[in-house]
Amino acid sequence: MQFFIDTANLDHIREAAELGILDGVTTNPSLMAKEGITGEKNILKHYRDICAIVGPGKDVSAEVISTDFKGMVAEGKKLAELHENIVVKIPMIKDGIKAIAHFSELDIKTNCTLVFSAGQAILAAKAGATYLSPFIGRVDDITWDGIALIKEINEIYSLQMYETAILAASIRTPLHIVQAAKAGADVVTCPLSAITGLLNHPLTDIGLEKFLADHKKANG
Ligand code: G3P
């Protein structure tokens, strides 16, 4: 399973990259706004900065703002030309599916976002999306089961041999990461806190403290 970080915060991206486990980055308009990145010029520069931090071969999702086919295609092309790492992130709407199919023919990578059902997942795979982003945290927020959705999509994709990668998104906790791995997600995209949260275990802390104390006792 690949690890993406879900943020536009350059320090967080740098920290995850330095851990040596980072495979890519996802952003969205809310995450860009949260970092105060506004205006086309600054937004495009920010995507370039992210690509420079993560280095070659790491996919970076950049989302279109347009909601009509023509606009999405124009925006997506501009984003894809920015850097070879860029994956065009497109919402799960009718024109979005058309744009994904169009980009698929051009061999431009896409990430179909705002996915909440198995039916949407089938449509995105048929259109040739590179990644599919089911938002598991937001499904949980309304007391449905986000992990069950990942399992269902994984079952369908395996049976139908769809090539679209399941990118579990809207991950909130380390437990979500473990559950997404068990459910067959190809990728998880998570905030830094969820990634570093995987490190924590009280027995590790207790064990390390004891090893160091024993070493000090023996070695003075
Ligand atoms: O990857 C999608 C993600 O950014 C949405 O997360 O926490 O806003 O539901 P959240």
Q: How do residues 112-170 score in pLDDT, each as one tens digit?
A: 999 999 999 999 999 999 999 999 999 999 999 999 999 999 999 999 999 999 999 99
Per-residue pLDDT, 213: 98
What is the 162 CA–ligand 1 centroid distance (Å)? 24
What is the 52 CA–ligand 1 centroid distance (Å)? 23
* Residue whose CB lies within 8 A of the most ligand 1 atoms, among 28, 113, 192, for a mutation test: 28
How confident is the prediction for the chain on average, in pLDDT? Answer: 98
Spatial CB neighbours of 114, under 8 Å, sequence gap ≥ 6: 91, 92, 133, 135
Ligand 1 atom showing the smallest separation from residue 189 Cα = 1
Ligand 1: lining residues by beta carbon, under 6 Å: 6, 26, 28, 133, 135, 137-138, 169-170, 189
> How does pLDDT run across 20-60, given as a tens digit for each residue?
999 999 999 999 999 999 999 999 999 999 999 999 999 99
> How does pLDDT run across 109-127, given as a tens digit for each residue?
999 999 999 999 999 999 9
Ligand 1 atom showing the smallest separation from residue 28 Cα = 4
Q: Report the number of secondary-structure helices (H) and strands (E) in the chain.
A: 11, 8
Distance between CA 107 and CA 5 in Å, rounded? 24
Closest protein CA for atom 6 of ligand 1: 170
- For domain 2-218, the CATH superfamily is Aldolase class I (3.20.20.70)
pLDDT grade, residue 220 (50/70/90)?
A: confident
What is the 146 CA–ligand 1 centroid distance (Å)? 13
Closest protein CA for atom 10 of ligand 1: 170
The pair of structure tokens assigned to 20 is 């040596």
Strand partners, 121: none
- Reported as half-sphere exposure (CB side, CA atoms, 13 A), residue 165 has a value of 17
Handedness of CA 57, 174, 18, 202 (dihedral sign): negative
